[in-house]
Amino acid sequence: MIRQAVLEYDHAEDALERLDELIAGRQVHVLRGSHGYPVVERLLPSIEAYPGTLFAGECTDQEADRVDLDGADVLIAVGGGKLVDTAKLIAVRNGVPLIVIPTLASNCAAFTPLSVVYRDDGGYDRYDVFRVVIERVIVDDRVIHSSPYDYYRTGVIDTVAKFYEARYLSGDTSDDAGVDAGLALSKQCHRLLALELTETAFRSYGEETRYAVDHVLAIGGAVGGFGDAGTRVAIAHAVHNALSQFETTHAFLHGDKVGFGLLVQESLHRSPDVAVLQAWLERVGAPTTLETLGLDEVDIPKLVEAVVKETTLQQLPEPIDYDYLKIIFENLQKTVYR
């Protein structure tokens, strides 16, 4: 099935200025994040007048139930990926449309009709796919441009992964129109590999950075929206989930773990791109060894088990080669052998 959630996407240097016009007198409730919200408030002081709730930090059922819209006709989400995921749950449960103001260029949560839900104890619970109406995603240059660079950097890695994971699942082209559209969009995501990924380039916010931001926030989300199971996550994200079971990896952002997972996925596939990816990840400061991620040789069997379990849950088209996977992790343990 083809699923999209967003009616309008407005990326401009003054995108916030059109918020009041979009609200058009409706009753509003704002879900505010603690980090990015002050930047939005400084640019658009009128937002302060609307009733709102401060986000507690995790996307859980309890958090979605806690937010009382008090009869509002529209919900505005101001924050990062977890906040946006929570806002989608709230909007669907209350039957109201959503307006999203991302404060980080790190994920495609603003563009996908799904939420990743966690349990109250912090563990991963499930992801819900639903019909949510996102009236507009408001991407204001001034907000994104001043956001933390590391979130953007890892967002770009996660978006490049869309290409490799889609290709892993469906090859270069497909007879299914939705999957083929997803593959075509994923090829655009692959172009981010060639762009300059530095904090200087990000802060200068030129054409290339705008192109990358649009792919992180929107096009990357549309890949899965068109291709569904044919272009969703594959081994790179399975490795990410498996790594997340190790305490030492919690200090790394999502995209950094996905990037390492990409090396594993492409090695399993015996892809000629492994060396290019490895050089790129090293250049942009992403971890490329288990040692950097805080894992030892002795952790490899547990890691292999976890990856195999994750890929079984994902119902990947091919079974994974257990022994080869172990060798790949051994080779990625340290850089000294190279």
**Interface of this chain with Zn ion, residues 57 to 76, rule: CB under 5 A:** none
Beta-bridged to residue 10, according to DSSP, are 138
Question: In angstroms, what is the minimal distance from the CB of 22 to Zn ion?
Answer: 29
Span interacting with Zn ion, options 35-43, 157-165, 206-214, 296-304, rule CB under 5 A: 157-165
Question: Which residue type is seen at 143?
Answer: V
Span interacting with Zn ion, options 85-93, 136-144, 156-164, 315-323, rule CB under 5 A: 156-164
Task: Report how many residues bind Zn ion under the rule CB under 5 A.
Answer: 1
Task: Note the helical H segments in 215-321.
Answer: 220-227, 235-243, 254-268, 274-283, 300-314
Give Cα 337 distance to the centre of its chain. 33
Span interacting with Zn ion, options 55-63, 98-106, 155-163, 193-201, rule CB under 5 A: 155-163
* Binding letters toward Zn ion, positions 115-154, x by CB under 5 A: ----------------------------------------
- Helix (H, G, I), strand (E, B), or coil: what is residue 338? coil
Closest to Zn ion by CB, 241 vs 289, is: 241
Give Cα 148 distance to the centre of its chain. 15
Report CA Rg, the chain.
20
Neighbours of 262 (CB within 10 A): 33
Give Cα 99 distance to the centre of its chain. 18
Examine residue 165 and tell whether it contacts Zn ion (CB under 5 A): no
Examine residue 310 and tell whether it contacts Zn ion (CB under 5 A): no
Reported as half-sphere exposure (CB side, CA atoms, 13 A), residue 190 has a value of: 16
Question: In angstroms, what is the minimal distance from the CB of 268 to Zn ion?
Answer: 18
Question: In angstroms, what is the minimal distance from the CB of 166 to Zn ion?
Answer: 13
Closest to Zn ion by CB, 99 vs 277, is: 277
Closest to Zn ion by CB, 81 vs 178, is: 81
Q: How far is CA 85 from CA 50, 93, 254, in A?
A: 21, 13, 15
Task: Tell me the C-alpha distance between 210 and 36, whole Å.
Answer: 19
Give residue 76's region: left, alpha or beta (phi > 0; psi -120 to 50): beta
Question: In angstroms, what is the minimal distance from the CB of 306 to Zn ion?
Answer: 17
Question: In angstroms, what is the minimal distance from the CB of 193 to Zn ion?
Answer: 16
Question: In angstroms, what is the minimal distance from the CB of 237 to Zn ion?
Answer: 6
- Shortest-Cβ-distance residue relative to Zn ion: 158
Q: Give residue for tokens 């399975």.
A: 238
Instruction: Please say whether the beta carbons of 314 and 238 come within 8 A.
Output: yes
Question: In angstroms, what is the minimal distance from the CB of 254 to Zn ion?
Answer: 6
Question: In angstroms, what is the minimal distance from the CB of 275 to Zn ion?
Answer: 23
Closest to Zn ion by CB, 158 vs 266, is: 158
Closest to Zn ion by CB, 52 vs 155, is: 155
65: exposed, middle or buried (C-beta count within 10 Å: 0-12, 13-18, 19+)?
A: exposed
Task: Tell me the C-alpha distance between 74 and 115, whole Å.
Answer: 18
Quick one: which H or E segment has residue 249? Answer: none
Examine residue 158 and tell whether it contacts Zn ion (CB under 5 A): yes
Span interacting with Zn ion, options 14-22, 158-166, 203-211, 245-253, rule CB under 5 A: 158-166
Closest to Zn ion by CB, 37 vs 280, is: 280
Instruction: Give residues in contact with Zn ion (CB under 5 A).
Output: 158
